[in-house]
Amino acid sequence: MITKADKKDLKIEYLFPKKKLRSARLAREVTTKQMADAIGVSREQYEKKEAGKFPFNDYEMIVISKKLEEKVMDLFF
């Protein structure tokens, strides 16, 4: 069972700004609004996810990787 201390440590370790994702998105001139629409969230929610404040769901990572024509591992890990 994960305790609160463990959960906080995991957040620090895995919720970090997605710099590779942002770079790939900007290189293809895709806006945060377009990305948000693709995964079905608001622009603000997408920006928080890209900034590392909230996690991306598995299916969101797949949709984004297809839209940007990049591998999931390259964008998110």
d(CA 50, CA 5): 24
Total of domains in the chain: 1
Query: Is 10 a member of any domain?
Result: no
Instruction: Give the pLDDT confidence of 35-66 residue by residue, as tens digits.
Output: 999 999 999 999 999 999 999 999 999 999 99
Instruction: Give the pLDDT confidence of 25-42 residue by residue, as tens digits.
Output: 999 999 999 999 999 999
Domain span holding position 57: 16-76
Query: Is 2 a member of any domain?
Result: no
Amino acid at 11: K
d(CA 2, CA 77): 22
**Model pTM?**
0.83
Amino acid at 25: R
d(CA 71, CA 1): 32
Query: Is 56 a member of any domain?
Result: yes
d(CA 4, CA 46): 26
Query: Is 4 a member of any domain?
Result: no
